[in-house]
Structure 1
Amino acid sequence: MLSYSSEYSIPIYAFLLSLPLAFIYYRHFYRPSVDQPVNHRSSDDKPLKTIMQAPRDDLAPPKDDPFTLEQLKQYDGSDPAKPIYVAIKGTVFDVSHKFDVYGLGKSYNIFAGKDGSKGLGMSSLKPEDAIADYSGLDESDTKVLDDWHGFFSKRYNIVGKVIDLPAAVANL
């Protein structure tokens, strides 16, 4: 029988009691890949909600209109008459239909109107990280950045290319 006098018993019991909660969280919220649609079903056979949008099959053919980093700043969500653009690795995406995410004052507006590749790769929302030069990213962060590029490519129209990326990443 277990003794309650051990100084380790409370942390051990707390850990054991937390396991069912961790399992429930894992079963309901874990997604192995952002590119896989959620196929989880609730007990009444209705699909569970996800915050990740599914890939779209109605995207326009990609454009390669040239943008400088300075020109891209016009599309930061501050002018409601203009679309919102986000560039990743020099590819410019129109994210206007997700104003609730990229619009002025919204959670990911830090990436609007710029190429914020480094910040996306680092999973950082710091303004100093939302820059185009991602050459210093390690292998793991570069993989994250590539995953974001793939995610955006399947969900947002490509409207152009950044033509004045920093030299360190211009040919990557």
Structure 2
Amino acid sequence: MAESVVKAGLLTNVLMEIVNSPINIALVILIFFLIYKIFRRQSDVPVRQAVPELPKLKKRDFTVEELRKYDGTQEDGRVLVAVNGTVYDVTKGKRFYGPGGPYAAFGGRDASRGLATFSVSTAGEGYDDLSDLTTVEMDSVKEWESQFKEKYELVGRLLKPGEQPTNYSDEEDEPTGTGDKSKDD
């Protein structure tokens, strides 16, 4: 019994020390606030929506009109982007290239000119031959293209108007020679 009286007296003395000093009161409030923020942050961490794993697209060539369909708004949410005539599946980067993303203007389009000029709003509507770009801008496009090659799945080429699509074999995903592009290109 004497032990509980000593503990109660000690607790009373600590509480009196805290209450008698405005600085101590402020520090206790700050401590409780920080503890609240720590626990709240851990429980309120938003869970990123995982991009559903879609089946790999067969390698093929796309017209500008066919590419436009892959802007992330269709049912499967797939997003394709063309860079320097090559089409990449950027679905795993949908938060950037899909609807509402900072680069959504590139989804389903040829992003080459926009990447070359550092302008998101420069996503072309039709085929863009890029012949008017400066050497520095073309170097920028090639740098972006190499980054896309490393990060995203290559799914085909963007066809020029009137160009015939290349037939790709299922096993090797290399052209079989029906298009006008040779294996040496």
User: Would the TM-score normalized by the shorter structure come out above 0.5?
Assistant: yes
CA RMSD of aligned residues (A): 2.6
Task: Provide Cα deviations, 1:97-134, integer angstroms capped at 9, x if missing partner.
Answer: 111111101100111101121111111112xx222332
Compare relative contact order (CA 8 Å, sep 6+) and give the higher one, 1 or 2. Answer: 1
> Which stretches of structure 1, 4 residues or more, deviate above 2 A after TM superposition?
61-64, 164-167
Is it true that 1:161 corresponds to 2:151 in the alignment?
no
- Would the aligned equivalents of 1:62 and 1:157 in 2 still touch at CA under 8 Å? no
- Rg bigger for which structure? 2
Unaligned runs of 5+ in 2: 1-55, 164-180
1:82, distance to aligned residue in structure 2 (A): 4.0
| Counterpart for residue 141 of structure 2 | 145
Task: Provide Cα deviations, 1:48-72, integer angstroms capped at 9, x if missing partner.
Answer: xxxxxxxxxxxxx996401100000
- Identical columns (%): 33
Q: Matches of 2:113 and 2:150 in 1, distance apart? A: 20
Match of 2:117 among 122, 125, 137: 122
Is it true that 1:65 corresponds to 2:98 in the alignment?
no
- Would the aligned equivalents of 1:90 and 1:165 in 2 still touch at CA under 8 Å? no
Aligned residues: 107
TM-score by length of 1: 0.56
Q: Matches of 2:129 and 2:154 in 1, distance apart? A: 20
Normalized per residue, which structure has more helix?
A: 2
Q: Matches of 2:129 and 2:115 in 1, distance apart? A: 11
| Counterpart for residue 48 of structure 1 | none
TM-score by length of 2: 0.52
